Each structure stands twice: as C-alpha cells, then as structure tokens.
Structure 1
C-alpha cells in the first residue's frame, strides 16, 4: 500500500529534478551573481549588493533597449497575434478550405528556416545599394523613400522587427487554426441564420471562442519580444550607436564584450522579472489560463 502511495511521486521525480537543475537553480544562481562585480577571467568577486541594479536604472542605454523591446512587443501583438488570428480565420473559412493546405505551407515555411539564415537574407534585402527593397521603391517611382534601412537610426529597429513578424506569423497562425477547428460549427450556422456577416462572426464567434489560445499566443509573443536577440544582433548589432539596442543584445555586449558579468546578470534578472510580470498581468486581466 505504501509503495503504491509514493509510486506517482517517483514517476514525477526525474522531471522535477531536471527542472530544478536546469531552470530554478540557474535563476537563483544568476540572482546571486548580480550582487557581485566580477570578470569571466578571474575567480575574484567583489560584493556590491544592489549597486548593479541602481546603475542599471540610471543607464540611458538600458532605457533605450527597453523602449525598443516595447516596440517589439506592441508591433508583434498587432501583426503576429491579431494578424495570425485573421489569417487563420480566413484559411478556415469554407470558401478557402480547398486551397488552405497550400497557404498553410507557404505561411509556415519561414518558421522552420533558421533565424540566422533569415536575418542574412533580409540583410541583403535591406542593402542600400543592391537591396531588393530599395530597388523596388526606385522601380515604382518612390526613390525618395530609399535609405540605408539598418544603418539609419530611425529605421534600424523597425527593420529588425519586420523580420520577426515575417518569420513568426505562420507559427501563431497554425496555433489559431488548431483552436478554430475546435469551435462547434453550430455557432457559425446560428450566426449565419441570424444574418451575421463574416466580420461580425469573426468578432462575435471566433474571437471569444479562441480566448484561451489568444492568451497562449500573446504570452509566447511577449516573452519572445523581450528576449529577442538573433535578428537584431545579426542585422544591426544594436546599432547605429545604440538605436536598435534591445535587452538581449545589451546583455551580450555587457557580458562578452565589456566583461561585466555581474551587470549582465542584472540585465538577465530584469528580463526575467518583466516577462514574469507580463504573464501574471495577462492571466489576471484576461482571466484565462485555466485550460
């Protein structure tokens, strides 16, 4: 009897130990590291308490990076989450159902391509002299709009954000397709009998029925927006100046360029706190997450 009582815990124990070892222990250790000033090339650590946090919250580059991450988050919610939901609803409509598999493949293909390859591709597209974007603008008579997209401080961060939207919208779309397929068809039939248009059915049937998936996709998108690194690092390196700096690239620069490991740990803890807070606020405001 006693063996049966504790058998379930033994099955859970390996997974629990892995989570403890590779997630919670590093989090605790990183908090400890942020209380010291230290170098990766020295065993000496100087205890500074919360001085690193005080320095961070008076650092103008940190605020520039935070603003850029907020741009990332807001634009990603609009284009990835809402845009992905619209695409999913269109492809699941009975009018487009026959050609839906083809377009699902087209939209999902960028998801399976390495983000490094995609960033290098867009680096060519954005090239000021031979880039496809400037070439297209010149061809349609909008030569005044051409510019060095990743070399201009006004457009660098938005050029990087555009890459993320193109690469990730297919993944969010597929998650919404799964959710839409679970909606009872009777709801759409009843709305159609009542004379509801496609747009009204979208907002009054589809959107409420996929609320749980909206919570999941929003959480994934926001977490990704505050931990983004590859696109920005490959395209702009955080430049020009610090115009396209995000928290991920600033952490990297602090740790591996300036060898300020304690400061980098502090940035990592702030990123963790922001993503955790966003998730908690979403759960509280939307009253979702139960499923």
Structure 2
C-alpha cells in the first residue's frame, strides 16, 4: 500500500512531466544554445561563450527594441490594467447594470477576433490616403495632425501599441468584473452609510478588494508587453527601419532571416530574464498572497 505522502505526488506527476518536457527542458536547451554559434541547417555548433550576449548588448537595434517593449509595458499598464479596472467598475455599478451585458460584449469582442483580421482592419484605418483616422482628423479641421501612421518612425510603434490596447482591454476588464462581483455588498453599503461617494468607494473598497486580480492582470499585461510579436510583425514588420522593432521581432529576424540561431537564443534568454525580473518585482510590490 502506497504511503499517503507519496499519493499526492503521483497525482501531480503527469503535470510535472509535461511541464518538464515542454517548458523547462526547452528553457534549459535555449540557455545552452545561447553560448554557441550555429545554423539551423547544420548540426555543427561552435562554442563562443558569452560572445552572443556581448554582441547583443552592443547592438543599437536591441536597445531600440527594448525601449519599444518598455513603451508597450507602460502604455499597456495605463490603458489595459487601470483602464480595464475603471471600465469594470463602471459596468458593475448599479446605475449601468441594465446595459452592462451589451457593453461587456462590445469590449470583449476584439479579444476573440483573429490578429490577422485586426491587422487588416487597422491597416485601412491607418491608411494615409483613405484611412478613417486621417479622414476623421480632416473632418474635425485637424489636417496638420494627419500622417502616415505606420510609415513614420515617430508614430509607427505607438500606432501598433494602440492596436494592442484596443484588442486586449476587454480581456482585462472581464477579469476585474469577476473580481468585483466577488466583493461582499456589505462593504459598499457600509461605505455608503459613512458618506462615501462613487469615487471614494472605488478607491477605498473596490481597489483593495481586487488586489490579487490586479496583480494577475498586471503580470499578464507586462509579460505580454515583453513577449509581444504578432502586432508589430504583421503591421510593420519592425519598420520603418527599426522604429517599431521589439524583442520578439528582433529574435524572429535573427533566427529565421539571418540564420543566427545562437544569437536568437541569447535574445530569448534575455527576454526570459526580463519577464522573470518583472514578475519578482511585482510580487514584492503587491505582496501577493499576503494579508498585509
């Protein structure tokens, strides 16, 4: 008869095995590959030590990509996390409850649309000649604001980031709606008795009560910001020049266009370290899982 201490490990063994094979083993192998120089079409590998990392940290494009990822992270926190929380609070307010189902669908619909369809849609919106955005600005008498949004280095990355906010805010909003629905109504009633208005109830009741979900939403958003690939690759390919390059597109281009697999592995390792550091900082700041 198996010991009671052994049985729980048997239940989680399949999960551990799958994670080991499909998550941790590839991470270890990628880290090992980052110390080699090799081609995808040749079995030969040349050990170069930290040369790939030294080359990476001397590459100007790497710092452009890192800066763009940081822009992604900052803007996504503002619009997706805090914007999603505000939207969720508004839709869960008793005054707007009768239309909340409709607006939940409206805001969540972009999440389930294919990124290819979204990229095609926004390529029309951003079109400098017939695009809806420039047409709207012209209609409002703001012709001096019109431009080739995806074709100018000053605006390309921000145009791409805007697409991500439009697509993802609904998902974060739904996470917060679930968290807000779990808040005891007595807390809001007590705050109302104390004379708190809607803004004070939001600050002193809603925000503290969704702290754990705030951590999860922030973690998802920041991890997504440092691993983003689809939107910049499909909309701009990292251009014009390297203006909208992110770490994901830099990795892809290094691996599959330049055939620098060891260098690409070094980029992947840096992305992993960055996301781990961000997660650790968040856990420290949010003190998740603790009461205080």
TM-score (normalised: structure 1): 0.98
CA distance in 1 between partners of 2:250 and 2:49 (Å): 21
The aligned counterpart of 1:55 is 55
The aligned counterpart of 2:229 is 229
CA distance in 1 between partners of 2:220 and 2:74 (Å): 13
Structure 1: segments with no counterpart, 5+ residues: none
Q: Is contact 1:65-1:250 (8 Å) kept? A: yes
SS in structure 2 at match of 1:278: helix
SS in structure 1 at match of 2:6: helix
CA distance in 2 between partners of 1:68 and 1:4 (Å): 52
CA shift, 1:290, in A, is 5.5
Q: Is contact 1:215-1:289 (8 Å) kept? A: no
CA distance in 2 between partners of 1:2 and 1:23 (Å): 29
**Post-superposition CA distance 1:111-150 (Å, at most 9, x none):** 0111121112101110111111111111111111110000
CA distance in 1 between partners of 2:127 and 2:289 (Å): 43
**Post-superposition CA distance 1:159-187 (Å, at most 9, x none):** 00000000000000000000001111111
Q: Is it true that 1:267 corresponds to 2:267 in the alignment? A: yes
TM-score (normalised: structure 2): 0.97
CA shift, 1:154, in A, is 0.2
CA distance in 2 between partners of 1:81 and 1:11 (Å): 35
CA shift, 1:10, in A, is 2.0
Q: Runs ≥4 in structure 1, deviation > 6 angstroms?
A: none
Q: Is it true that 1:75 corresponds to 2:88 in the alignment? A: no
Q: How does 1:150-161 map to 2 (within 5 A)?
A: 150-161=150-161
Q: Is it true that 1:84 corresponds to 2:80 in the alignment? A: no
Q: How does 1:137-148 map to 2 (within 5 A)?
A: 137-148=137-148
Q: 1:3 to 1:287 in 2, by over 3 A?
A: closer
Q: How does 1:108-119 map to 2 (within 5 A)?
A: 108-119=108-119
Q: Is contact 1:119-1:231 (8 Å) kept? A: yes
Moved more, 210-219 or 136-145: 136-145
The aligned counterpart of 1:170 is 170
How many residues are aligned here? 291
RMSD: 1.1
CA distance in 2 between partners of 1:116 and 1:190 (Å): 48
SS in structure 2 at match of 1:46: strand
Structure 2: segments with no counterpart, 5+ residues: none
Q: Is contact 1:179-1:210 (8 Å) kept? A: yes
The aligned counterpart of 2:206 is 206
Q: How does 1:212-291 map to 2 (within 5 A)?
A: 212-289=212-289
SS in structure 1 at match of 2:98: coil
CA distance in 2 between partners of 1:228 and 1:44 (Å): 31
CA distance in 1 between partners of 2:50 and 2:17 (Å): 30
